[in-house]
Amino acid sequence: MNEFLRFDPRLDEVLMKALGGSPPTREEAYQLLNSTERDLPGLVYVASAIRDREKGKRISYSKKVLIPLSNLCRNHCGYCGFRKDPAEPAARIMSQDEALRIAELGDRSGCREALFILGERPESTHPEASRRLRRLGYSTMTDYLLDTCELILEKTKLLPHTNAGVLTREELERLRDVNASIGIMLENSSVRLCLEGGPHQNSPGKNPRLRLRMIEEAGRLKIPFTTGLLVGIGETPEERADSLLELKRLHDEYNHIQELIIQSFCPKPGTPMEGWPQPHLSEVMRTVAAARIIFQGRTNIQTPPNLVHQRYREVLAAGINDWGGISNITDDQVNPEEPWPRIEALEEITSGEGFELRMRLPVYPEYVKRIPGFLPGRLQDRILSMVDDEGYVKEDGL
C-alpha cells in the first residue's frame, strides 16, 4: 500500500479515508479527478480494494439483444452517429414485426434483456416522425414503445429495459409496468456543455437539469435505474466530479441507481466532433476509480467492454463490477464499429483476473432479492422465476 501512496500526501489522506469507508467531500473528489498519472496506481489500488470488499469477486453482465426502435431524435448531439434526419434514407421507425424477430432470436440464444434504444421525442420537432407514427397507428413514440414492450413480454422470455431519453413522470409510470429497469445517461451535470460551441448546444434534452429531474422522478417511483457519465466530451475534471456527486446525492435519497456507466467518448465520422480525440484509457480508469471511491459499494459500476480497446484488465482493476449488456447477436448501433467481445472470451478474461462472471437480468440481483419495492408488480413473479437464490439468472433457466 505505502509504495502507492508516496506521491501526493493530500491525495494519500483522501485514499486512506476512502479505504476506511468514508466517501470523499467535494474538494476531495476534485482531487481524485485531478490526480496525475503517477497517482493512478494508488487510486486504482484503493478502488479495487473497495470493490473487492463491497462487491466480492463477482463480475456480472446481462445477455441482451439491442432493439433500435427509432433513430429519429429531436436532439443534435455533436458526437452522435446514431441519429438520422427524417429525410435521410437510413431514418427509420422499426416495425413491431422486426422488433419481435430480433427478440425471438435473442430468446432462442438465451438472452434475457431486450434493450430498447431510441432517439428522444422525435415527433415533437419532426412532422415526418409524426406522420410515420400515425401510419403505425400511434401519436407518440412512447405509446409505440409501450405496445412494443408489451409484445416482447407476451411473445418471449425477454425483459425490456428502455433508454428513450428524457421522459415525464407519467411516461415513467406507464413504462415501469413493462420494463424491468429504465435508464438515461446523465453524461454530465454541467450546463456549460449546452452552451454555444458545446457538444449539447443543439440538444434541449441534454439539459442536465431535465435529466437529473427525471432520475429523481424514477427514484420516487422506485424504478431500478441505470445512468452514467460520458467521458471526454469537453468536460473538466471538476465537472466530472460534480456529476458523480449529483448522482450520489440522488442515490443516497432514493437508493435506486442500480448501475453507473462510465463510458468513453468515441469520435464518429461525419459528426461535428469527428476530430476530437478519444480520451486516454487512464482518464476512463481514473473516472471509474473515482466513482468507486465516491459510491463505495452503494452501486454497480460498469464500463462498456467494447469501448476499451481490449484493455479489459485495466478497467477491471479500476473497480468495475459489471460488464453491462453484451450482445453477440445484434450490433452496438451507437458504436457499430466496436463489436462486443464474445461472452466466452469475456469469461476467460474475467476468470483469469480472479473473478467469477455471472449473468444477471436487466434488473440487478440486489433489487430482485434484497431491496424491497423495486419490481413492477406485473413482472414480479416472472422475474423471480428466472433467478437463483442470489438474484442471478438461474443456470438451468438458459
- Pairwise CA distance, residues 10 & 217, whole Å: 38
Least CB distance to ligand SF4 at residue 117 (A): 8
Least CB distance to ligand SF4 at residue 152 (A): 21
- Pairwise CA distance, residues 394 & 381, whole Å: 14
Closer CB to ligand SF4, 75 or 300, in the complex: 75
Least CB distance to ligand SF4 at residue 358 (A): 30
- Pairwise CA distance, residues 103 & 156, whole Å: 7
- What's at 181, amino acid-wise? S
Least CB distance to ligand SF4 at residue 83 (A): 4
DSSP classification of residue 398: -
- Pairwise CA distance, residues 359 & 276, whole Å: 35
Closer CB to ligand SF4, 181 or 263, in the complex: 263
- Pairwise CA distance, residues 69 & 136, whole Å: 13
Output the CA–CA distances (angstroms, integers) from residue 257 to 210, 215, 351, 386, in the order listed: 17, 9, 27, 22
Closer CB to ligand SF4, 233 or 349, in the complex: 233
Least CB distance to ligand SF4 at residue 166 (A): 9
- Contact present, 205 and 183 (Cβ < 8 Å): no
Q: How many CB atoms lie within 10 A of CB 342?
A: 11
Least CB distance to ligand SF4 at residue 370 (A): 33
Least CB distance to ligand SF4 at residue 55 (A): 30
Picking from 130, 140, 187, 182, the residue whose alpha carbon sits closest to that of residue 161 is 182
Closer CB to ligand SF4, 325 or 341, in the complex: 325
Closer CB to ligand SF4, 33 or 80, in the complex: 80
- Pairwise CA distance, residues 200 & 181, whole Å: 26
Radius of gyration of the chain (CA): 20
Least CB distance to ligand SF4 at residue 85 (A): 11
Closer CB to ligand SF4, 120 or 314, in the complex: 120
Q: What are phi and psi of 35, to 5 degrees?
A: -65, 155
CA dihedral in degrees (45, 322, 368, 391; nearest 10)? -90
Place of cell 433457466: 397
Closer CB to ligand SF4, 80 or 153, in the complex: 80
Closer CB to ligand SF4, 142 or 203, in the complex: 203
- Contact present, 321 and 300 (Cβ < 8 Å): yes
Closer CB to ligand SF4, 126 or 157, in the complex: 126
Q: Where are the alpha helices (DSSP H) in 259-311?
A: 281-295
Place of cell 446481462: 62
Residues near ligand SF4, by CB under 6 A: 73, 75-77, 80, 82-83, 119-120, 165, 203, 205
Q: How many CB atoms lie within 10 A of CB 147?
A: 15
Least CB distance to ligand SF4 at residue 186 (A): 12
